[in-house]
Structure 1
Amino acid sequence: MCRWLVYSGTPVLLSDVLYRPVPSLIDQSLRSRMGVETTNGDGFGIGWYTDDIDTPAIVRDTGPAWNNRNLREISDHVRSPLFFAHIRASTGTAVQQTNCHPFRHGRWMWMHNGLIAGFDRLRRDLLLTVDPELFPHIEGTTDSETMFYLALTFGLDEDPPGAVARMAGLVERLGHQIGVEFPVQMTIAASNGERVWVFRYSSRRESRTLFYSTCVESLRALHPDVAWLHRLSADTRIVVSEPLGDLQGAWNELPESSYGVIPAQDGEMLAAFDVHGLTGPGIG
């Protein structure tokens, strides 16, 4: 599988989040503690937004993140209020640049950890469902990119949670038709540059790990002597496949079958998620 990270909040250098924590996402590319694979060396990608450009920048490569000098160089010079970072462990598709995350279409970024079980048999039917106007923009061969373009087809611009639910529901329905018992395994991050949506869901209800950071004000109260916490805005959040660093009380597991919004909408960061639609009130 893969490991990924989302940062949203006070503009910081990418290196502050990618490299500085111990363990960091770069450490996880070589020694993941919670992933299906210990090593995630089948490529990496970073994407970020700036204040004056609507579309995100994307940098991707097929080599491992832990020894990439260009990634180190970029991360020491790029400052952003919102960025994605992803380290890849292929589930069977080719190790090539167009298969590395994050994926981009217009103002949207998307990245994924997990898989569509039976994707080799489902791929044709899934791709035929993609909006014909969007289809030419698909560059790679992964299930992750297919999920992205299905979500775009199902209204990601207007209703991100609903679009992702419809996408996952379609995968489950088609998977069940060919005898795949548990078609969907996913943690997903999507952003339009203004907000970030993160999802944790699987058909088996045993989803890959996903954690979000405790609110900055609470962390300041817990750790009043940690200087860098005082430089962050109250709405700063990080979402990760597995925790970074060792700051006590910093991380909370995203509940099974739920999604989160950053910055929070109507004071609620988390809500229940179901492939047949959204259910229940906010839970966070």
Structure 2
Amino acid sequence: MCRWAAYRGEPLYLEELVTSPAHSLIEQSHCATKAKTATNADGFGLAWYGDRPEPGRFRDVLPAWSDCNLKSLARQIRSPLFLAHVRAATHGSTRRDNCHPFVHGIWSFMHNGQIDHFDRIRRPMESMLDDDHFNARVGTTDSELLFLLALQFGLRERPIAAMAEAVGFVEQLSLHLTGAARIRMTAAFSDGVTLYAVRYSTDEHAPTLFAAPMGPKGSYCLVSEPLDDEKDTWVEIPAGSAVILSENGLDAAEFNPVRERSLQPEARLEAMAG
């Protein structure tokens, strides 16, 4: 399981989440307390928004704690909206293209969790993409493919609904081809204006997600696990929830995968899976 942190509000130095707190994201990269594994050493990444619509991005395969460039960037970059991630690989080798966040146009995305049976459903998942989204795929992870599916299903116009449709399609596909479906995830994604996050699992073991105000009024951070021991500050987001951080502050809603999208012809699906 990976660890991540995201922020939206008045411009803030990235170090306020990434390096400075007692239980910062870098600290979590080698001493996570609310994950299956304490170490998240398979790379890291940052995506931040500034004066241009597209996010800046920096990723590498080094453990986050050992990269001096990460600490320097986090100290110097100030942004009103950013995503930061440390990776513990489940699907996909340790290489830069597989490090989060993933970016497509103005959109950025990062993920913690796993899709079971991914090796059996990957090809039919890819077949749902049009040429533009298929050719945008540069890595081999389930996370990047889920992001592209959500874009294909309308993330730009209806972010939470499109993500729910993408997750529901993956569940439906896995049930059809393997007889079982298990997805555990938290994910954060943004167009540079609004920050979205979801927490979901097909069973009772959804990865953790917390929210807390940070800095000026209306500014919030979302994290895999709290950055300090101030228990009264952090609110755990319930499983089956979506969070929206906008200029209006923090809103929450139910997150229910939509399983109504038509599967491709059964023969083609089975041929791809086999």
**CA 1:132–1:183 in 2, change beyond 3 Å: closer, same or farther?**
farther
1:255 equivalent among 223, 234, 238:
238
Cα distance in 1 for partners of 2:230, 2:202 equals 33
Gaps of 5+ in 2: 260-274
Aligned to 1:236: 219
Contact 1:44–1:60 (CA under 8 A) maintained in structure 2: yes
Q: For residues 26-75 of structure 1, what are the alpha-carbon distances to aligned partners after superposition, in whole Å with 9 as ceiling and x for unaligned?
A: 1100010011111000000011000x200000100001001111101111
Aligned pairs for 1:19-38 (under 5 A) are 19-38=19-38
Structure 1 residue 180: Cα displacement: 4.8
- 1:178 is matched by which residue type in structure 2? L
Aligned position for 1:132: 131
Candidates 225, 229, 236, aligned match of 1:246? 229
Q: What's the secondary structure of 2:53's corresponding residue?
A: strand
Alpha-carbon offset, residue 94 of structure 1: 0.4
Where structure 1 has 5 or more consecutive residues not aligned to the other structure, the ranges are 217-231, 278-284
Matched, 1:4 2:12: no
Question: Once the 2 structures are TM-superposed, how far is the Cα of residue 131 of structure 1 from its aligned partner?
Answer: 2.1
Letter in 2 for 1:236: S
Query: Could you tell me how far 1:93 is from its partner in structure 2?
Result: 1.3
The offset of 1:130, in angstroms, is 1.2
Alignment of 1:1-284 (within 5 A): 1-50=1-50, 52-213=51-212, 215=213, 232-263=215-246, 269-276=251-258
The whole-number CA distance in structure 2 between the counterparts of 1:258 and 1:248 is 21
Deviations 1:89-124 (A, max 9, x none): 000310000000000000000000001100011000
SS at match of 1:156: coil
Contact 1:117–1:180 (Cα < 8 Å) also in 2: no
Deviation at 1:16, TM superposition (A): 2.0
Structure 1 residues 58 and 112, CA, compared in 2 at 3 Å: closer, same or farther?
A: same
TM-superposed CA distance for 1:204, in Å, is: 1.2
TM-score by length of 1: 0.88
Q: 1:157 to 1:62 in 2, by over 3 A?
A: same
SS of the equivalent of 1:178 reads: helix
CA contact (8 A) 1:117 1:184 kept: yes
Name the Cα RMSD after superposition: 1.4
Deviation at 1:246, TM superposition (A): 2.0
How many matched pairs?
A: 259
The more displaced of 249-258 and 143-152 is 249-258
Amino acid at match of 1:31: C
Contact 1:182 1:204 in 2 (8 A): no
List structure 1 runs of 4+ shifted beyond 2 angstroms. 178-183
Contact 2:91–2:140 under 8 Å retained in 1: no
Distance 1:199 1:264, change over 3 A: farther
One-letter code aligned to 1:258: S
Query: TM-score under structure 2 normalisation?
Result: 0.91
Instruction: Check whether the contact 1:165–1:275 (CA below 8 A) recurs between aligned residues.
Output: yes
After superposition, the C-alpha distances for 1:142-171 in whole angstroms (9 at most, x for unaligned) are 000000000000000000011001100110
Asked whether the 8 Å contact 2:169–2:258 carries over to 1, the reply is no
- Cα distance in structure 2, aligned partners of 1:212 and 1:119: 30
Query: Aligned partners of 2:154, 2:202: CA distance in 1, in Å?
Result: 22
After superposition, the Cα gap between the structure-2 partners of 1:3 and 1:180, relative to the gap in structure 1 and judged at 3 Å, is: farther
Q: Which stretch of the first structure deviates more once superposed, 192-201 or 15-24?
A: 15-24
